[in-house]
Chain A
């Protein structure tokens, strides 16, 4: 099974039915599957903090949300994470394309990659780094952990991982 299918299956196992996305080339396959899924509402966002607002509202409306985004956007989401998701104690799985790691062709992407884990650590967000395609097998348990803890949780999926897509 491709990592895209493993991720989709993990989201379904956890009842995720509301997904907001800002695209990334690495995430294109997953986003396409979400768009086609009858059991998930896909709401593309224009910016990631907007997406977190959508997820917060959907959660309070009884949905199980997730956001799909690039790590380059961590900076614009700091306030939404701290004063919305964490302040009100909401779960938010963040499926993040970890750009700027080994295999990255665009030098500029490395600049945010070197800050990504430090920013997530500063926010005390549980963070899981997927490097090998088989790491995808942990997705379902991590999503379950996220909803149990009612916290944002970051899954960083790097270029080597996406070779399994």
Chain B
């Protein structure tokens, strides 16, 4: 399974939840598969999807799922100790770990080599770290949504992309409808 296959399995679960999606193909895939006002497409700041998700989770009570990638978490490792030390029980960080920079041509990341994000997250103090296969990701998300604890899921999947259009929606519209969904 590649990232878009994993996302497809999650859509029935997360369609009505607040979702922050990573730059590039993850946002474009979510936009194509299930565009929702409750999706915040982060279009420009690689690495910050988890930070935006955490800030959102700390500021209000609804569940928040940040869909991030291995390359992006590698770029912003500082996010992991911040997540660990600022508990947000309503926050789920789902890292789709395909070991590659998918949006730029599938160049290998270090998690595709020796680096384990689960080990790094635990070393940073994250308490509830789940590493699972692409196939088991749905079950892990079901459990995380039902739970009352911050969950960090690392979904190990294959590298590969589907053809998706860029998001042409105005960023202020993306923000405005998302904020209305937060308040709904």
Which residues in A have some Cβ–Cβ distance to B below 8 Å? 18, 41, 43-47, 49-63, 65, 79-80, 82-84, 87-90
Contact = CB atoms under 8 A, between A and B. Distances in A.
A56 B82 contact: no
B27 to A, nearest CB: 13
Q: Which 6 A-B pairs have the closest CB atoms?
A: A83-B44, A57-B55, A53-B51, A61-B59, A46-B78, A53-B48
Contact of A83 (B43, B49, B57): B43
B182 A61 contact: yes
Contact of B59 (A49, A62, A83): A62
B108 to A, nearest CB: 24
A100 to B, nearest CB: 24
Contacts of B49: 53
B158 to A, nearest CB: 28
Contacts of A61: 55-60, 182
Contacts of B175: 60, 88-90
Contacts of B42: 84
B171 A87 contact: yes
Contact of B45 (A59, A62, A84): A84
Interface in B76-91: 76, 78-79, 81-82, 86
Contacts of A54: 51-52, 54-55, 58, 82
A50 B179 contact: no
B20 interface: yes
B80 to A, nearest CB: 9
A79 B52 contact: no
Contacts of A18: 55, 58-59
B2 interface: no
Main secondary structure of the interface of B (DSSP, over half): helix
Given A18-B55, A80-B48, A90-B175, A50 B76 contact: yes
Interface centre among B50, B59, B86 (most CB of A within 10 A): B59
B171 to A, nearest CB: 5
A10 B172 CA distance: 28
B104 interface: no
A50 B82 contact: yes
B47 interface: yes
A43 B44 contact: no
Contacts of A46: 78-79, 81-82
B37 interface: no
Contacts of B171: 87-89
A55 B45 contact: no
Interface in B3-56: 20, 40, 42-45, 47-56
A55 B40 CA distance: 15
Contacts of A83: 43-45
B44 to A, nearest CB: 3
A76 to B, nearest CB: 11
Nearest to A65: B55
Contacts of A65: 55
